[in-house]
Amino acid sequence: MAQDKKLVEQITSMDEDFAKWYTDICMKAELIDYSSIKGMFIYRPYGYAIWENIQRELDNRFKATGHENVAMPMLIPESLLQKEKDHVEGFAPECAWVTYGGNDKLEERYCIRPTSETLFCEHFKNIIHSHRDLPKKYNQWCSVLRWEKTSRPFLRHREFLWQEGHTMHATEEEARQETMQMLGIYADFLENVLAMPVVKGRKTDKEKFNGAEETYTVECMMHDHKALQSGTSHYFGDGFSRAFDITFTGKDNQPHYPHQTSWGVSTRMIGGIIMTHGDNRGLVLPPRIAPIQAMVIPVAQHKEGVLDAAGALLGRLQAMGLRAKMDSSDQSMGWKAAEYEMKGVPLRVEIGPKDMEKGQCCICRRDSGEKVFVPLAELENTVAKLLDEVHEGLYNRAKKNLDDHTRVCHTMEEVKQFMETEGGFAKTMWCGSLECELAMKEQLGVTSRCMPLEQEKVGDVCPVCGKSCDTSILWGVAY
Amino acid sequence: MAQDKKLVEQITSMDEDFAKWYTDICMKAELIDYSSIKGMFIYRPYGYAIWENIQRELDNRFKATGHENVAMPMLIPESLLQKEKDHVEGFAPECAWVTYGGNDKLEERYCIRPTSETLFCEHFKNIIHSHRDLPKKYNQWCSVLRWEKTSRPFLRHREFLWQEGHTMHATEEEARQETMQMLGIYADFLENVLAMPVVKGRKTDKEKFNGAEETYTVECMMHDHKALQSGTSHYFGDGFSRAFDITFTGKDNQPHYPHQTSWGVSTRMIGGIIMTHGDNRGLVLPPRIAPIQAMVIPVAQHKEGVLDAAGALLGRLQAMGLRAKMDSSDQSMGWKAAEYEMKGVPLRVEIGPKDMEKGQCCICRRDSGEKVFVPLAELENTVAKLLDEVHEGLYNRAKKNLDDHTRVCHTMEEVKQFMETEGGFAKTMWCGSLECELAMKEQLGVTSRCMPLEQEKVGDVCPVCGKSCDTSILWGVAY
């Protein structure tokens, strides 16, 4: 047990220093490592396995809704990036620039993609000519680069892994439907796979994507009541089509500009998982994304038959289609318990000589620490039920956190009071002006998170300017 | 049928101009597109879907042999690249260099990874301390950049997609086993999934990877008798470990340098598929990698019940776990036949009113053009059998090409004669000297492909210097 305690002591308590607790988990659960370039991280096997599970779940949903994967070049000529004015203004200042190929200075410099709208548009121009060529519903899994000044594991990298969907449609209506469909897929995935409740909403013009007409977002609340923007879906109208001169011949035999969307989520969702579900013993992984859903641990494994019995349990769990493993190493039981708690494995399944006599095993839940003895005949049913219960439990706890720390406020004073005492999402009315949005940021340090799709009339006037208005909005402090 | 002919005419005949035929297929089968940067290509949905299938098949094999995926940064500081002397000499001249981050000139320039040995070594130094930390068996799927002067779709890109495995082992023996195991996995995959017969062998010192002690290769012969190096597996010894000062404490409590391997295959395998199996009607895809294994085409689909019957066939094929689709668009039968021939779909499954009366469908094989009428009750069995037969047929045809155009030669004159008339792999003895290897290249324009693992004593002396020797080697012209 000394070893056990030692491991646990290595994590800073989240109540003491949430940022340090977060970084401790990233390192101690072996999710990530630093490289020699500031802000560029190494995704270690356990962290990358979470990303692979996220990829598989999302990719299935993308393909089921008719999307196809492609791979675009990683470099963008400066002249291409400049074709859409708002877009280049937003991204050029944080691009990394390639100026030499081998020993030769390039005639034009190339940036490493910060996002790929311009590359997709260049390609769309080549392949879209007729209404028969539409829609084009593409996605790519890749990494992008943004030369940020500050960095934090998963939350802010200079290079991060993501997916970016890019679609072209014959009509505005279809493109708008696509934008909302993808937002819905993100929300469903976050809630039903990552157990992270979301608020779906629209970004203000100030917060929207550079070059988009409208940006929609799924916002999540972390354990410390701060916000994490967890996915965005953009409606572009025909702005890029016009800038890139992409047209198609419609059924009416006339040229038209297609309507465009893009949408993306990134490895920052892994940061979201950590900060939504983690506790002072380490990572807590939602079962549907956990690289290891159940870890079988033989107790007193030198005793006759124990390893066989544990191996049989492992076989049955794997036959259920679960991601299960067994640890029969010579580490102590205490070490193993602490290790798989740190790594957030949802269920620990233990079996020893006494259990074998009684025809049972002992299952320990990572989320609650609760232990139950399960008759071997009921293993599959119980494990399936427990995994669902862990998911529900994590979701409900996170939902309570979100609900408890979303507060209706009518005045700036109320927002100030709320943010200073407990923090969270302050819900107010908003007149829609940039001035009032900036005043909230300058005076109270909060940014607009979104105008929720589920609007609620929580007052009559904007708390900043006092004008009467109809739109409700959430304010918070964001990662 | 006019439309049909038109499509077919768009491809140059392979006998007329093999290079043009190849590029035509890449474009007309919609595998790839050019971008505005020379040598950087766009992988279109159909081409990328082949790569996704390759990834899934290989990834399963890697994981089944205990490998884990990770993601390393895409940038390498120049000082890091320089740590291993042979390595930097080989790669630095073809690196793309990042010199600016945002508006700031970087203090040190970074190259975009041409390969990641140095990044992995830097990380290994952080995480390997004890024999308990070994082996580390890592892989990453990513793209790499090499600033080549010339380019061809799939075969030579400035940026290409690949996987790179990097492993560290406590002993030389274990690392050598790993090197050969991965070579075996590549050979098995090429032969049993891509239907491409291989010669397994070792590269000469001149042709080995920069920084490796030994490089092993799987060499394939294309339809035009040229060679394609289709995968390589390297044994590094402890050269990088020493350069990067990576040590571990052994069971003997002494410090040791670990032994290293790396191994990789890339999207150039897709070029190999095209040039091994394609014909004058377009792409021919091996069934186990084809994005669409069977295309259902309703005949006279406006007639009552046809679409339902075709839909039922599609459902049964998908229920078998096949990648099957249906084309019920308003294009002509001729267009559809030509289109799916161009795209290399292994089986076309047609059903119309007459077939329905007879309780049958008509299945057309892409490889042979052969048509068979299949009773509906026997659909699943027949389709499964046909797909295996197509695979075997493609493999056997390619194996015959390889065997027929591998020729034992005893003198340089014989090699010259063989290469000038039909071309292929000239098999000779070799004394092992760089001088003789260079003479073959300078005088006959051939490079050494490999010293086959299955050695065959085809003579007593080196055809260049006449010295007696024991090693046989293959020469050829390579892509």
Write the pLDDT tens digit of every residue in B362-404: 999 999 999 999 999 999 999 999 999 999 999 999 999 999 9
Please indicate whether, in this complex, the C-beta atoms of A45 and B98 are within 8 angstroms of each other.
Answer: no
Q: Does B99 touch chain A (CB under 8 A)?
A: yes
Q: Answer yes or no: is pLDDT of A97 > 70.
A: yes
> Which residues of A fall within a CB distance of 8 Å from B33?
123, 126-127
A362 forms bridges with which residues in the sheet?
A350, A373
- Tokens standing for A384? 């399936």
ipTM for the predicted complex: 0.95
Distance of alpha carbon A31 from alpha carbon A308, whole angstroms: 31
B459 forms bridges with which residues in the sheet?
none
DSSP A116: -
Q: Answer yes or no: is pLDDT of A460 > 60.
A: yes
Distance of alpha carbon B12 from alpha carbon B15, whole angstroms: 9
What is the CB neighbour count within 10 angstroms for residue B417?
14
Q: Answer yes or no: is pLDDT of A7 > 70.
A: no
Closest CA to B272 of B184, B408, B394, B176: B394
- CATH architecture under which domain A12-277 falls: 2-Layer Sandwich (3.30)
B143 forms bridges with which residues in the sheet?
B161
pLDDT band at B6 (very low <50, low <70, confident <90, very high): very low
Closest Cβ–Cβ partner in B69, B74, B77 for A143:
B74
Average pLDDT, chain A: 96
Query: How far apart are the two ends of chain B, measured CA to CA in Å?
Result: 37
Closest Cβ–Cβ partner in B73, B95, B102 for A93:
B102
> Which residues of B fall within a CB distance of 8 Å from A159?
73-75
Closest CA to B67 of B147, B167, B152: B167
Distance of alpha carbon B68 from alpha carbon B168, whole angstroms: 13
Mutation for testing the A interface, residue in B98, B125, B162, B335 having most A CBs under 10 Å: B98
Q: With the CA atoms of A66, A67, A69 and A75 taken in that order, what torsion angle do they form, in degrees rounded to the nearest 10?
A: 160
Q: How far is CA B26 from CA A32, A39, A133, B344, in A?
A: 39, 38, 19, 12
A97 forms bridges with which residues in the sheet?
A111, B100
Q: What is the pLDDT of residues A337-371, one digit of tens each?
A: 999 999 999 999 999 999 999 999 999 999 999 99
Mean pLDDT of A133-140: 98
Closest CA to B54 of B290, B217, B222: B290
- Tokens standing for A465? 């300017």
DSSP A325: E
Q: How far is CA B34 from CA A451, B44, B94, B268, in A?
A: 41, 10, 21, 16
Q: Does B373 touch chain A (CB under 8 A)?
A: no
Q: What is the pLDDT of residues A103-123, one digit of tens each?
A: 999 999 999 999 999 999 999
Interface of B with A in 257-286 (CB under 8 A): none
DSSP H/E element including B337: helix B333-342
Interface of B with A in 28-47 (CB under 8 A): 33, 35-37, 40-45
Contact by Cβ (8 Å): A261, A179: yes
Mean pLDDT of B186-209: 98
pLDDT band at B445 (very low <50, low <70, confident <90, very high): very high
Q: Does A27 touch chain B (CB under 8 A)?
A: no
Contact by Cβ (8 Å): A351, A298: yes
Q: Answer yes or no: is pLDDT of A30 > 60.
A: yes
pLDDT of residue A90: 86
DSSP B434: H
Please give the full DSSP string across A61-129, using - where no structure is assigned: HHHHTT-EE-B--SEEEHHHHTTSHHHHHHHGGG-EEEEEETTEEEEEEEEEPS--HHHHHHHHHHH--
Q: Does A161 touch chain B (CB under 8 A)?
A: yes
pLDDT band at A9 (very low <50, low <70, confident <90, very high): low
Q: Answer yes or no: is pLDDT of B5 > 80.
A: no
Q: Does B127 touch chain A (CB under 8 A)?
A: yes
pLDDT band at A453 (very low <50, low <70, confident <90, very high): very high
Superfamily for the B294-401 domain: Anticodon-binding domain (3.40.50.800)
Q: What is the pLDDT of residues B120-162, one digit of tens each?
A: 999 999 999 999 999 999 999 999 999 999 999 999 999 999 9
pLDDT of residue B87: 82
* Topology (CATH level 3) of domain B9-277: BirA Bifunctional Protein; domain 2 (3.30.930)
Q: What percent of chain B has pLDDT over 70?
A: 98
Residue of B nearest to A103 (CA): B93
pLDDT of residue B115: 96
Please indicate whether, in this complex, the C-beta atoms of A159 and B77 are within 8 angstroms of each other.
Answer: no
Contact by Cβ (8 Å): B385, B187: no
**Could you tell me the maximum CA-CA distance found in chain B, to the nearest angstrom?**
81
> Which residues of B fall within a CB distance of 8 Å from A138?
45
Please give the full DSSP string across B245-300, using - where no structure is assigned: T--EE-TTSSEE--EEEEEEEETHHHHHHHHHH-BTTB----TTT-S-SEEEEESS
Please indicate whether, in this complex, the C-beta atoms of A123 and B42 are within 8 angstroms of each other.
Answer: yes
Mean pLDDT of A465-479: 97
For chain B, count helices (H), then strands (E): 15, 23
In sequence order, what E strands does B72-115 have?
A: 75-77, 96-101, 104-112
Average pLDDT, chain B: 96
DSSP A75: E
Instruction: Describe the strand order of the beta sheet including B371-375 as a list of residue ranges.
Output: B324-326, B294-298, B347-351, B360-365, B371-375
DSSP SS3 for A231:
strand
Q: Answer yes or no: is pLDDT of A2 > 50.
A: no
Distance of alpha carbon A223 from alpha carbon A246, whole angstroms: 45
The b/e string for B67-95 (b: 16+ C-beta within 10 A; e otherwise) is: bbbbbbbbbbbeebbebbeebbebbbebb
Please indicate whether, in this complex, the C-beta atoms of B73 and A102 are within 8 angstroms of each other.
Answer: no
- Say if residue A93 is preceded by a cis peptide, omega within 30 of 0: no
Contact by Cβ (8 Å): A473, A442: no
Contact by Cβ (8 Å): A367, A290: no
- Tokens standing for B111? 């190259």
Please indicate whether residue A463 or residue A93 has the higher confidence score (pLDDT): A463
DSSP SS3 for B468:
strand
- Say if residue B135 is preceded by a cis peptide, omega within 30 of 0: yes
CA distance A146 to chain B (A): 8
What distance lies between CA B7 and its chain's CA centroid?
Answer: 28
Residue A450 identity (one-letter amino acid): C
Q: Does B95 touch chain A (CB under 8 A)?
A: yes
Q: What percent of chain B has pLDDT over 90?
A: 96
Closest CA to A203 of A457, A468, A464, A447: A447
Interface of A with B in 205-234 (CB under 8 A): none
Distance of alpha carbon A196 from alpha carbon A272, whole angstroms: 8
Residue with tokens 């030769």: A104
What distance lies between CA A56 and its chain's CA centroid?
Answer: 14
Closest Cβ–Cβ partner in B70, B77, B109 for A42:
B70
pLDDT of residue A390: 98
pLDDT of residue B3: 42
Q: What is the pLDDT of residues A153-208, one digit of tens each?
A: 999 999 999 999 999 999 999 999 999 999 999 999 999 999 999 999 999 999 99
Closest CA to A91 of A118, A70, A109: A118
DSSP SS3 for A73:
coil
Q: Does A12 touch chain B (CB under 8 A)?
A: no
What distance lies between CA A25 and its chain's CA centroid?
Answer: 17
Residue B433 identity (one-letter amino acid): S
Indicate the domain borders of chain A. Answer: 12-277, 294-401, 406-476
Residue with tokens 């930390």: B133
Q: Answer yes or no: is pLDDT of B4 > 50.
A: no
- Tokens standing for A114? 């910060």
> Which residues of B fall within a CB distance of 8 Å from A45?
68-70, 138
Contact by Cβ (8 Å): A284, A314: no
Distance of alpha carbon A250 from alpha carbon A240, whole angstroms: 18
A89-93, A225-229, B23-27: the lowest-pLDDT one: A89-93
In sequence order, what E strands does A278-434 have?
A: 294-298, 324-326, 347-351, 360-365, 371-375, 406-408, 425-430
- CATH architecture under which domain B406-476 falls: 2-Layer Sandwich (3.30)
The b/e string for B261-273 (b: 16+ C-beta within 10 A; e otherwise) is: bbbbbbbbbbbbb
Residue of B nearest to A138 (CA): B45
Please indicate whether, in this complex, the C-beta atoms of B101 and A75 are within 8 angstroms of each other.
Answer: no
Closest Cβ–Cβ partner in B69, B97, B126 for A100:
B97
pLDDT of residue A322: 98
Contact by Cβ (8 Å): A25, A270: no
Distance of alpha carbon B101 from alpha carbon A147, whole angstroms: 6
Residue with tokens 């124990």: A306
Contact by Cβ (8 Å): A198, A177: no
> Which residues of A fall within a CB distance of 8 Å from B52?
69
CA distance A126 to chain B (A): 9
pLDDT of residue A1: 37
Mean pLDDT of B287-295: 98
